[in-house]
């Protein structure tokens, strides 16, 4: 088997690639409005409650209609998973890994379709959508290899008269609850890791993006995954989330999303439901308020390019997005001229047009939330650029920067999850580091500096799960930058790292007297 390698992201400078995505966008428009039944085992359901998925650049456009799963259907999916687990758990690791390899092949043949779907359903630019796709394939390829490694011999200290061994076994049936912002990569990564480890899963996609999730479910089905190992269960988190989390047969919950929902899941999962015979395991990756520090001695132009990309790529809707910029006072004015100039060059509009770098935010609630933080920003800081909605169809917001923001202000402390950057002036490097660490979150961070002492200090004291030196704080690659945050950013699961599958396994130690 070839060693794992990241799938390169396409930049769409090839006319053949461009026309293939254009064709996929047209195909999606032609099939828009298609209704998908809910499938549990060999039964299909059409419910009264529907889950339409729409285009945030043109909210009246319904891309597809899914069924809103009911608690009874969630129950059926969990019971099915628990039944299937009795055999799936004993399926050899190489067989389980093969399903992932095959699903990756299936997806690779539908790359343009996936990109088009994420452009229209999630408002991603073409390159962001392709990066999401590449990450999903990387997860499948990486975790398949990891499953084989975990299934291999584990070293123990030898002892005379005994033959000890240790091996990893799966946990049971789990709930996989992803967010909409990496609607293919995170969904596929969390589900594939659990499945390849020998667990069964009930996968409830985010309500904003069930169509791209369906492609992953199709990929696993096309790979021949036995029925019930994965049940794809679109539905409202508010309506069926608690039911799934509380269920006594659920053994683990793997969640990525907001801090509020993650903490709720963690709390509920800790309560023992009648009939439950284990402590539920919760993997929760949550929000961020990620900071980039710019030191006095650094290449300001390189920093400015990285800051604009990290703050406004995918409209600032990445958990890793730069939402706080902390700048040494001596370079503050010069840096801000550069950052504002780069930001003003950003093109905003429907990402069906591939020249637009920024598309819409995901929905009406996000539009309103972001605009309300912009109003807060007007009181708490100095507007340097942006500050308004663009147009009135679609959820477009100009990339917005507030300067002179105080570290204790709301703009500097609360996750907005939109294209708003708060800029804070620091007295010196130590002050910058203290401001950066003064947050309930601890996901990503970056430092631009030529000062070796400051870089070394950041390495040891900047308390984030993913720290980047002299580069932007977004763009983690599977296997290269295992991803997960500290403090209220989550349980630090390090997705795409060598510890990850361990979260879906338990170790069994067996010793034979000889
Ligand atoms: P969210 O509102 O917390 O939703 C995440 C998922 O939880 C969705 O599938 C949602 O379903 C479901 N959910 C809602 N209420 C639930 C409940 N009571 N029980 C169980 N599940 C429930 O987050 P989001 O808006 O999708 O995503 C944005 C957030 O994700 C941001 O805070 C971002 O920082 C974070 N994020 C973190 C990482 C990371 O690696 N740390 C990566 C990406 C995103 P519905 O869609 O049906 O409501």
- 240-294 residue pLDDT tens: 999 999 999 999 999 999 999 999 999 999 999 999 999 999 999 999 999 999 9
Whether 206 is in the pocket of ligand 1, judged by its Cβ within 6 Å, is yes
Q: What is the mean pLDDT of the chain?
A: 98
CA of residue 178 to ligand 1 center, whole Å:
6
Atom of ligand 1 nearest to the CA of 489: 41
Whether 285 is in the pocket of ligand 1, judged by its Cβ within 6 Å, is yes
Q: Closest Cα to atom 48, ligand 1: which residue? A: 237
Which residue, 199, 181, 177, 200, is CA-closest to 190?
177
Whether 418 is in the pocket of ligand 1, judged by its Cβ within 6 Å, is no
Atom of ligand 1 nearest to the CA of 257: 30
Whether 238 is in the pocket of ligand 1, judged by its Cβ within 6 Å, is yes
Atom of ligand 1 nearest to the CA of 288: 34
Active site residue 285: yes
Q: Closest Cα to atom 45, ligand 1: which residue? A: 237
Q: Do 422 and 323 touch, CB atoms closer than 8 A?
A: yes
Q: Closest Cα to atom 39, ligand 1: which residue? A: 285
Which residue, 288, 226, 287, 294, is CA-closest to 86?
226
Q: Which of 146, 200, 319, 415 is catalytic?
A: 319
Active site residue 319: yes
**What percent of the chain is modeled with pLDDT above 90?**
100
* Local confidence band at 478 (pLDDT 50, 70, 90 cut-offs): very high
Distance CA 347, CA 360 (A): 12
Whether 234 is in the pocket of ligand 1, judged by its Cβ within 6 Å, is no
CA of residue 284 to ligand 1 center, whole Å:
10
Whether 457 is in the pocket of ligand 1, judged by its Cβ within 6 Å, is no
Contacts of 248 (CB under 8 A, 6+ apart): 273, 274, 275, 276
Whether 415 is in the pocket of ligand 1, judged by its Cβ within 6 Å, is yes
Structure tokens at 118: 């994420």
Whether 89 is in the pocket of ligand 1, judged by its Cβ within 6 Å, is no
Q: Look at residue 282 in the predicted model and tell me its pLDDT.
A: 98
Q: Look at residue 158 in the predicted model and tell me its pLDDT.
A: 95
- 329-377 residue pLDDT tens: 999 999 999 999 999 999 999 999 999 999 999 999 999 999 999 999 9
Q: Do 436 and 324 touch, CB atoms closer than 8 A?
A: yes
- 370-390 residue pLDDT tens: 999 999 999 999 999 999 999
Q: Do 506 and 284 touch, CB atoms closer than 8 A?
A: no
- 26-83 residue pLDDT tens: 999 999 999 999 999 999 999 999 999 999 999 999 999 999 999 999 999 999 999 9
Q: Is the pTM of this model over 0.85?
A: yes
Q: Which of 121, 141, 285, 380 is catalytic?
A: 285
* Local confidence band at 18 (pLDDT 50, 70, 90 cut-offs): very high
Whether 295 is in the pocket of ligand 1, judged by its Cβ within 6 Å, is no
Phi-psi region for residue 240, left (φ > 0), alpha (ψ -120 to 50) or beta? alpha
Contacts of 292 (CB under 8 A, 6+ apart): 303, 306, 307, 310, 322, 324, 325, 326, 445, 446, 447, 448, 472, 473
CA of residue 514 to ligand 1 center, whole Å:
52
Atom of ligand 1 nearest to the CA of 177: 9
Contacts of 16 (CB under 8 A, 6+ apart): none
């Amino acid at each position: 088997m070839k060693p794992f390698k990241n799938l390169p992201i396409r930049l769409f400078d090839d006319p053949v690639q461009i026309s293939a995505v254009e064709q996929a966008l047209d195909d999606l428009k032609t099939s828009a409005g298609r209704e998908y039944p809910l499938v549990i085992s060999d039964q299909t359901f059409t419910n009264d409650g529907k889950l339409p998925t729409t285009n945030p650049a043109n909210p009246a456009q319904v891309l597809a209609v899914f069924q809103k799963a009911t608690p009874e259907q969630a129950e059926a999916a969990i019971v099915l998973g628990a039944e299937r687990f009795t055999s799936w758990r004993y399926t050899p690791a190489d067989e389980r890994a093969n399903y992932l390899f095959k699903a990756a092949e299936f997806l690779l043949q539908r790359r343009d379709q996936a990109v088009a779907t994420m452009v229209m359903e999630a408002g991603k630019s073409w390159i962001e959508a392709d990066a999401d796709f590449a990450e999903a394939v990387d997860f499948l390829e990486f975790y398949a290899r990891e499953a084989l490694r975990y299934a291999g011999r584990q070293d123990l200290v030898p002892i005379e008269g005994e033959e000890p061994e240790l091996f990893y076994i799966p946990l049971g049936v789990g709930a996989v609850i992803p967010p909409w912002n990496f609607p293919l990569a995170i969904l596929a990564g969390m589900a594939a890791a659990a499945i390849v480890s020998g667990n069964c899963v009930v996968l409830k996609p985010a309500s904003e993006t069930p169509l791209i999730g369906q492609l992953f479910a199709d990929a696993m089905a096309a790979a021949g995954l036995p029925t019930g190992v994965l049940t794809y269960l679109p539905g409202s988190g508010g309506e069926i989330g608690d039911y799934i989390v509380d269920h006594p047969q659920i053994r683990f919950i793997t969640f990525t999303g907001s801090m509020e929902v993650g903490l709720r899941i963690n709390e509920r999962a800790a309560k023992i439901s009648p009939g439950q015979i284990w402590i539920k395991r919760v993997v929760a990756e949550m929000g961020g308020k990620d900071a980039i520090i710019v030191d006095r001695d650094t290449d300001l132009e390189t920093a400015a390019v990285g800051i604009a990309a990290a703050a406004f790529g995918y409209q600032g809707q990445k958990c890793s997005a730069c939402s706080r910029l902390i700048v040494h006072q001596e370079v503050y004015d010069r840096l801000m001229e550069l950052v504002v100039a780069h930001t003003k060059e950003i093109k905003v509009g429907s990402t069906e047009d591939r020249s637009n770098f920024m598309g819409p935010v995901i929905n009406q609630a996000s539009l309103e939330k972001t605009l309300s933080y912009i109003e807060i920003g007007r009181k708490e800081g100095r507007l340097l650029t942006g500050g308004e909605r663009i147009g009135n169809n679609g959820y477009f917001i100009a990339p917005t920067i507030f300067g002179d923001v105080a570290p204790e202000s709301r703009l500097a402390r609360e996750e907005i999850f939109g294209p708003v950057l708060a800029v804070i002036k620091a007295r010196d490097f130590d002050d910058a580091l203290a401001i950066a660490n003064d947050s309930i979150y601890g996901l990503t961070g970056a430092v631009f500096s030529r000062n070796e002492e400051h870089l070394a200090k950041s390495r040891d004291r900047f308390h984030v799960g993913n720290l980047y030196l002299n580069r932007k704080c977004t763009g983690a690659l599977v296997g290269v930058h295992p991803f997960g945050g500290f403090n209220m950013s989550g349980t630090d699961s390090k997705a795409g790292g060598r510890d990850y599958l361990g979260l879906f396994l338990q170790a069994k130690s067996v010793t034979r007297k000889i």
